[in-house]
Amino acid sequence: MATQASECTTYRNLMLEDIVGSLSATEQETLQQHLKSCSSCFKQYATLKVGMEVWRQPSHFIPDEEMIHLVTQKSHKIVFDFFSVYTVRSLASVAAAILIGIGIGLAIPKYDASKYSSYSALQDYYVDMISDDIFSFDLFDEYPLP
């Protein structure tokens, strides 16, 4: 009797291995042989097997129209919201970029070539003189080089 009990304990391990799906084909054969001869183990095995099958069975969740309507509505709302937020953000980004550009443009002083080149200074000097005294023929006598 004691031998039978310890034998059953060994087979319980195999039963659980089988239930969780990690039993090899040979071990499965051995287990089936034992189950044929031991009603107590067979009963426990059947109970376990049914439990696992019940858990494994898909519950039939059928989508009702109300649920589909709700999900479709929510989805569209999110897309709409997303676009409106997206549009506002885009416009704000463009406006900010323009303002930053204008700011930078105003902040940087204009490049004055006369400050950096003596030749340009000379050119400007004569241009000024010519424009001032456009009809003067003795321009170069009156205004010697600086």
Partner 1 sequence: MPKLSENELIDALQKGDEAAYRLLIHKYNSMIQNVIYKMVEDQDDTKDLSQEVWIRIWKSIGKFRRKSSLQTWIYRISIHSALNHIRKKQRLRLVSFSHSDALESTTYAESPIASGFDKMDQHDQAAIIRSALNRLTAKQKAAFILSNAEGLSNAETAEVLETSVSAVESLLIRAKRKLKQELLNSYLSE
CA atoms of 47 and 58, how far apart (whole Å): 19
Q: 15 near 45, Cβ under 8 Å?
A: yes
Q: How far is the CB of 98 from partner 1 (least distance, A)?
A: 30
Closer residue to partner 1 in complex, CB, 22/118: 22
Q: How far is the CB of 72 from partner 1 (least distance, A)?
A: 6
Largest Cα–Cα separation, the chain: 140
Closer residue to partner 1 in complex, CB, 54/134: 54
How many CA atoms, within 13 angstroms, populate the side-chain half-sphere of residue 23? 19
Closer residue to partner 1 in complex, CB, 52/139: 52
CA atoms of 46 and 142, how far apart (whole Å): 124
Q: How far is the CB of 24 from partner 1 (least distance, A)?
A: 13
Q: 44 near 15, Cβ under 8 Å?
A: yes
Closer residue to partner 1 in complex, CB, 59/118: 59
User: Could you list the residues that contact partner 1 (CB under 8 A)?
Assistant: 12-13, 15-17, 19-22, 44, 47-48, 50-52, 54-56, 58-63, 67-68, 70-72, 74-75, 78-79, 82
